[in-house]
Structure 1
Amino acid sequence: MVALRLASALVLGAIFGFGLAISGMLDPTRVRGFLDIAGNWDPSLGFVLGGAVMVAILGRLVQLRLSHPLFADRFQLPEKTEIDGRLIGGAAIFGIGWGMAGLCPGPAVADLMLGAPVVLVFVPAMLIGMALHDLLVAKPAAGSAAESSC
């Protein structure tokens, strides 16, 4: 079961990375162009985001019909649903970083294969930030689903 779970994660991660590469999400300049609505705006990534929303909706509809995932006993969904200061602050920090660097964690990890200098700075900084968060912010009780990912 563990081998199947790891193999499926590898295959799906490769498909995700391939999709990021084809869509242009690995190009920080293109991402910043999409986020620059007051300047030389590049709307092409809006189609990528729209497609991602459609795939997410389809995935959610499939998930609602299943009792559990194929390779796990239960779905790991967030239990916390309220919007609070931590969520807003974290989203703001993420958005500012995404706008400045033109990268978020998924594309940055996929971009490591290209060896771009900006990624070789971004990924270690991201990992240091994640480690500092774990050291400075109290962890939720064991077994809680309060953790999330990008």
Structure 2
Amino acid sequence: MKQIFALLSGLVFGLGLIVSGMADPAKVLNFLDVFGTWDPSLAFVMGGAIAVTAPGFALLTRRRSRPFFDSQFRIPTRTDLDPRLLTGAVLFGIGWGLGGFCPGPALTALPIATTGALIFVPFMLGGMWLARHTPDLSLPIRKGAPQ
């Protein structure tokens, strides 16, 4: 049952990307082109997603001790900024700015075989593999040390 709802959630997410135009890298690149052909619609899509998700998530986590299809809520507990996180964020931003894709829209555009998606997705998968197989070089933070 858990996999069925994961599939349905992914399909709804992909449909939302297509309907909102976020699977089109030109729309994303226009959003990033603040001094040129700026298109603010991506901000409205993000704002709408946050406006729907945040209250629903807050309501569910307060009223339920566990999700419908899992044994517990999996809320991140780390609050530090380590070098891997910062490096990943920079690489994500560079890739997003150059290609106009982030992982969701890239996978949504893959079935129609757009050139950008056909180039972006293999590099994205390679980056994911590399991130998983790169040793963690962050320094441990001692308890009681100033942060």
With normalisation by structure 1, the TM-score equals 0.83
Task: For residue 19 of structure 2, give the secondary structure of its aligned residue in structure 1.
Answer: helix
Aligned-residue offset at 1:83:
2.9
Alignment of structure 1 residues 1-150 onto 2, 5 Å: 4-65=1-62, 66-138=64-136
Alpha-carbon distance, 1:108 to partner: 0.8
Question: Quick one: which amino acid aligns to residue 56 of structure 1?
Answer: T
The aligned counterpart of 1:146 is none
Shift of 1:132: 1.4
Amino acid at match of 1:91: A
Runs (5+) with no aligned partner, structure 2: 137-147
Structure 1 residue identity aligned to 2:10: G
Which residue identity is paired with 2:116?
V
Distance between the aligned counterparts of 2:12 and 2:27, measured in 1? 21
- In the TM superposition, what whole-angstrom CA distance separates every residue of 1:102-136 from its partner, at most 9, and x where no partner exists? 10011111111221111011111111111112222
> Identity, % of aligned pairs?
47
Distance 1:80 1:117 in 2: 37
Shift of 1:62: 2.4
Which structure: larger Rg? 2
| Stretch deviating more after TM superposition (62-71 or 10-19) | 62-71
Under a length normalisation based on structure 2, what TM-score does the superposition of the two structures give? 0.85
Structure 2 CA distance for aligned equivalents of residues 62 and 103 of structure 1: 32
Which residue identity does 2:97 align to in structure 1? G
Find the aligned partners of 2:77 and 2:119 in 1 and give their Cα distance. 34
Report how many aligned residue pairs link the two structures.
Answer: 136
